[in-house]
Structure 1
Amino acid sequence: MKAIQFKEFGDPSVLEKVDVAKPELAEGEVLVKVSAIGVNYADTARREGAYVVPTPLPFIPGAEVAGTVEEVGEGSTRFKKGDRVVTLIGSGGYSEYVKTKENTLIPIPAGVSDETAVALPLQGLTAYHVLTTMGRMEKGETVLVHAAAGGVGSLAVQLAKIFGAGKVIATASTSEKLKLAADLGADHAINYTNANWREEVMEATDGKGVDVALEMAGGNVFHETVKCMRGFGRVVVYGVASGDPASMYPSGLMNRNLSVIGFFLPQIMKKPVLFEKSLNQLLQMVNTGGLKLTVGGVFDLEEAAHVHEMMQERKTKGKIVLKP
C-alpha cells in the first residue's frame, strides 16, 4: 500500500512516498480503508523530532483517519465490512489502510462526510476537554481562545458558547481570521500581533480578566496570557506552536490563586469512556448543525510536504485534510 513516511528528521522535504505492507490483523483489531486523513501541527513536530514524546524512525505520521471497514479480525463484533468509521490512532494515518482496536472506532452519522468527520477527533476532543475536563469552564465565565481561526480554536469558540460561556474573547493574526472567529460566535476578536493585545483583552473584560484561557503558543504569549487572568483563573496549555517553551515561577500564581494546567490528548485514549462519549457528542453536534467545522482544504496524500509547508507558514485556516 502507499504511504507517506520520513526516515530522518527535518523540513517537509524529508516526507517521501513509499510502498509498505498492508497491516495484518490481530484479535480484536479492524482494518480500515482510509478515505480522509486529518493533518495537525503534531505531525510537523513529529517530522522535526520535536514532539513531546520520542518519534521512532522510520515513521508514518497521521493520528486521525476516517474511512470504511475493510476487514475485521477474530473476536471483533461491533463493526462489519463497509461501515463508515472515524478514529484517533497513535501514528500511521498517512496511508491507504490502517489497523486499530475496534473499541477506538466511532461510527460516522449518515449526514456527516468523511472529510468533516476526520476534522473532529484530535482538534474536537482537544477543544472539548481543554474547556471542560481540564479548564472546568462554568456557565457565565469568560473564556480566552488563542489562534481562534485554527482547528482547535474555531471549535473551542463554538463549544464555549454552547457550554454557556458568558463571553468568548478570540485572538488571531489577520483580519480574515478575526472575522472567522467573530462569525463563529466570538464576542470580541483581537489581533495578537498587536503589541497591546493584552490591554485589549483586559478592556473587553472591564479590567476583571478572564476565567479560562486556552494557550498553545508558548513564549511571551503564555506570560501575557497569565497576566490576563482573573482570580481563580485556569490557563490550559495544550501546545507550543512558537517553538519557545515558556518558563515560569509557580509562586507567581499564588497571589491570584491561578492554575496552569497541561493537556495531552493521548492521555484521553487511556480513558475510553471520555473518548467515546465526547466524540459521539461532537459528531451529533455536527450532524444537527449545532457545531460548524471549517475544512480549509483537501489535498492528495502525495502533497503532504506542501501541506506541512503551508501550515508552518500560517497559510491555512481550519482543518486540512489529505486523501489517499
Structure 2
Amino acid sequence: MRAVQITEFGGPEVLKVAEVPDPVAGENELLIEVDRAGVNYADTHQVEDSYLSSPALPLIPGAEVVGRTAEGRRVAAMIGHGGYAEKAVVNKYMAYDVPDGVDDVSAVALLVQGMTAWFLLKKTTHFQPGESIVVHAAAGGVGSLAVQLAKSMGAGRIIATASTQEKRDLAVQLGADVALDPASPNLDKAIIEANGGKRVDVVLEMTGGRVTDESLKSLAPFGRLAFYGMASREEPKPISLPALMSHSATVSGFWLAHAFGNPPLLQQAFAELAAEVTAGKLKVISGGDYAMSEVQQAHEDLRARRTTGKLVINPGK
C-alpha cells in the first residue's frame, strides 16, 4: 500500500510517500480502508521528535482515521500512528461508528480535536454555565470546536484570540463575543478589558510563551488555565506555586492519550459530539483536503498558521 513514512526526524521535508507492506489486524483489531486521515499539531511534533513520547523509526505518522471495514462498517478511530496510509489497523474498542449525517472531515475532526475540546471543557476545567472563557487559537481545529461547545454549554462570555483578522472574524461567526490579536501588547489587560473589566474564569491555551504568561495574569480567583499544546515552540515562564495560591488559581495540563484507558468515556464523548454535528449545532471547519502527495505542504501550512479548522489527508489521491 501507499503510505507517508519518515525514516529520520525533522521538518516537513522528511515526510515521504512510499510503498510499504499492508498492516495485518491482530486480536481485538480492525483493518480499515482509510478514506481520510486527520492532521494535527501533535503530528508535527512527532515528526520532529519533540512530542511527549519519542517514537521509533521508520514511522507512518497520523493518529486519526475514518474509513470502512471489509464488511462495510464506517468507523472513525484514534491510533498511535499509521494514519497517513491507504489502510490502517485500529483497536476495535477505540473505533466509533460514524452516523450518516457526519461527513469524513467532521468524523476525523471529532477525534483528537473534538474530544480534546470536550475533555478540556467538561473534565479538565469543569466549565460551568455563565462563566467567562478565553479560547486561544480559536480558528484552529480544537479552538473552533471549543468556542461552539462553550456557547452551547451556556458560557457567559467567550473571548477568542486568533492571529489574523480573517480568523478573528471566523471565531466571532462561530459564537465568540469578541476576538483579540494574541500579539497585542499587554494581552492580559486586553483580555480583562474584553471581559468588561473583570478577570476571566477559564483559559484554554495551546500556544506557549508570552501568551501563556499573560493569560495567567488575566485569571479571576478560582480561575483555571488548561495547557494542552505549545504551537509556538516557546515554553512559558516557570509558575510559582505561592503565586497560584495568592490568586486561588489552577493550572492544569491535558494530553488526550491519558483518556485512552477509559474507552466508554471516549465513546460517550464521540457520540455526544457526533449528535451535535448531526443536529446542526456543531460545525466543523474544513481547513484543507490534501492529497497524500501534498503531505509536506499540509505540515508546512499548519506550522505556519496559515490554516483554519480541520486539515485532512486523502490517501486515495
3-state DSSP class of the match of 1:37? strand
Q: Please state how far the C-alpha of 1:170 moved relative to its aligned partner.
A: 0.4
Q: Does 1:117 align with 2:107?
A: yes
Q: Does 1:13 align with 2:4?
A: no
3-state DSSP class of the match of 1:270? coil
3-state DSSP class of the match of 2:296? helix
Alignment correspondent of 2:55 = 55
Alignment correspondent of 1:144 = 134
Q: Please state how far the C-alpha of 1:322 moved relative to its aligned partner.
A: 0.6
Alignment correspondent of 2:82 = 92
3-state DSSP class of the match of 2:252? strand
Q: Please state how far the C-alpha of 1:198 moved relative to its aligned partner.
A: 2.2
Alignment correspondent of 2:187 = 197
Alignment correspondent of 1:22 = 22
| Aligned partner letter, 1:28 | N
| Paired residues of 2:159 and 2:195 also in contact (CA < 8 A) | no
| Aligned partner letter, 1:201 | I
> What aligned pairs does 1:127-166 form with structure 2 within 5 A after superposition?
127-166=117-156
| Aligned partner letter, 1:251 | P
3-state DSSP class of the match of 1:297? strand
Alignment correspondent of 2:298 = 307
Consecutive unaligned residues of structure 1, counting only runs of 5 or more, are: 71-80
Of 262, 273, 278, which aligns to 2:253?
Answer: 262
| Paired residues of 2:78 and 2:90 also in contact (CA < 8 A) | no
3-state DSSP class of the match of 2:266? helix
Q: Please state how far the C-alpha of 1:192 moved relative to its aligned partner.
A: 1.1
| Aligned partner letter, 1:220 | R
Consecutive unaligned residues of structure 2, counting only runs of 5 or more, are: none
Alignment correspondent of 1:33 = 33
Alignment correspondent of 1:177 = 167
Q: How many residues align structurally?
A: 314
Of 270, 285, 288, which aligns to 2:279?
Answer: 288
Of 97, 101, 120, which aligns to 1:107?
Answer: 97
What TM-score comes out, normalization by structure 1 length? 0.95
Q: Please state how far the C-alpha of 1:249 moved relative to its aligned partner.
A: 1.6
| Aligned partner letter, 1:2 | R
- What is the CA RMSD across the aligned residues, in angstroms? 1.0
| Paired residues of 2:36 and 2:67 also in contact (CA < 8 A) | yes
Deviation per CA, 1:203-235, whole angstroms, max 9, x where unpaired? 122332111100111111111000010000000
Runs of 4+ in 1 over 3 A off after TM superposition: none
Structure-2 separation of matches of 1:199 and 1:147:
18
